[in-house]
Structure 1
Amino acid sequence: MSDSTPAADPAKTPGMSPEAILKGTGKSWAEWLELLDKAQGTTMTHTELAAYIAKNFEVSGWWAQGIAIGYEYDRGMRDRGMTSDGYATNASKTFNTPVSTLWQFFADDQLRSQWLEPDLLSPTSATEPKTFNAKWNADNSRISVNFQAKGENKSSFGLQHRRLPSQEHIAPTKAMWKSKIAVLAELIKNSAG
């Protein structure tokens, strides 16, 4: 690697840490930046960049997308938190409860209303006990939640709130979810009680 190749700025890289990108792809962020600069990556659209990575390197489509996003962040081609359909923020939490119970706290209107005001969202689709999707009524943004069993009585979810109108909406939305998830955690703890 040449000394003139800038190293990836950790504050600009996506959710993947330098350790994760190296372990998952066999290359560091600095190596990916150099390779994509040589391919004139800044002249490519996101779709072209991800396709180039998938075609020319031994990585899955998922990794190709992540590498492309990281490159776009680092090279100023994409704002922090920007996705293909607006801005997004994420939240996740692990609970000492079966995945089917955790899923019900999202999918069942009555259970969900105990920790999230009923008028905030309109469910759009769900697959028990794996996914829950909804429209956020305040601004027509969307939430997608994926659930995972981590044992008989342990589970987690990963939530993405996307289509946020601007980067300025990321921090307050993240804070709102942190607050709501704290209420959910207390509710689940008390119901297991």
Structure 2
Amino acid sequence: MSDTLSAQQPHAISDERLKETTGRTHKQWFKALDRAGAEDWDHGRIERWLGGKGDVDSWWAQSVTLEYESARGKDTPQSEHGTVEMSVSKSVKLTALEIWPFVDDDGLRRSWLDVEFKVRGRTPGKTLRLSASDGSRVVIALYDLPEGSDGLPRTRVSVTHSRLRAESDVPETKAYWKVALAELAKLAQSPADGTSEQPG
């Protein structure tokens, strides 16, 4: 019954990303948790087990716990919002108008962001507001910058991730967003016709 439930639930984090980071897929983690008796545990105990026995960092332990609880039909602590906030940004050599589709379009956003977020709202061309499965909130904002010395347009892409539950979540969350923004810049700046840019 548990395997059926987990197979039917869409995962907020891809199996590839989860295995790359933690060494196991969702199915493998769920089976390990079932064997440990986690279906009868509360949220905090599951997280502690993943962090201890599973050697999983806090951000990923929290994410796997929420996925597991959802798959097993357990109540999740959505109301336990944290108060910690972090921000990270990256300058991209494009206009905000050119970057916006990669932020706003669900399909394009998935090409650089491998965790599913629920869209809460948007200011077209400027900000996208998201919520995560753990109750945390994300705002992706675009700010015009002066042209660079090479004459190319520049935009600062800023991510603010709020309602994190602990200061210990900040380093890994910040590292995650830095990688994501680097991937966004790479995709957005790739020539549309697939040709390579000539070296300067």
TM-score (norm 2): 0.50
Q: Which amino acid in the other structure matches residue 100 of structure 1? A: L
**Match of 1:88?**
85
Distance 1:120 1:86 in 2: 22
**Match of 2:141?**
146
Say which SS state the counterpart of residue 183 (structure 2) adopts: helix
Q: Trace 1:23-172 onto structure 2 (pairs within 5 A).
A: 86-117=83-114, 119-137=115-133, 139-150=134-145, 153-172=153-172
| 1:105-135 CA-partner distances (Å, limit 9, x unpaired) | 1111111011012x52111111111111000
Residue 159 of structure 1 deviates from its aligned partner by 1.2
Contact 2:82 2:165 in 1 (8 A): no
Distance 2:141 2:88 in 1: 11
Distance 1:109 1:191 in 2: 21
Contact 2:91 2:154 in 1 (8 A): yes
Q: Which has the higher contact order (CA 8 A, sep 6+)?
A: 2
Distance 2:146 2:108 in 1: 23
Contact 2:82 2:136 in 1 (8 A): no
Distance 1:110 1:177 in 2: 18
The percentage of aligned residue pairs carrying the same residue is 28
**Match of 2:11?**
none
| 1:118-170 CA-partner distances (Å, limit 9, x unpaired) | x5211111111111100012x11000122112258321122100000111111
Say which SS state the counterpart of residue 125 (structure 2) adopts: coil
Distance 1:92 1:190 in 2: 19
Residue 99 of structure 1 deviates from its aligned partner by 0.4
**Match of 2:179?**
179
Q: Which amino acid in the other structure matches residue 92 of structure 2? A: F
Residue 88 of structure 1 deviates from its aligned partner by 1.0
TM-score (norm 1): 0.51
Residue 85 of structure 1 deviates from its aligned partner by 5.7
- Runs of 5+ in structure 2 lacking a partner? 1-80, 148-152
Distance 1:85 1:146 in 2: 22
- Runs of 5+ in structure 1 lacking a partner? 1-83
Runs of at least 4 residues of structure 1 off by over 4 A? none
Distance 1:150 1:166 in 2: 33
Pairs aligned (count): 108
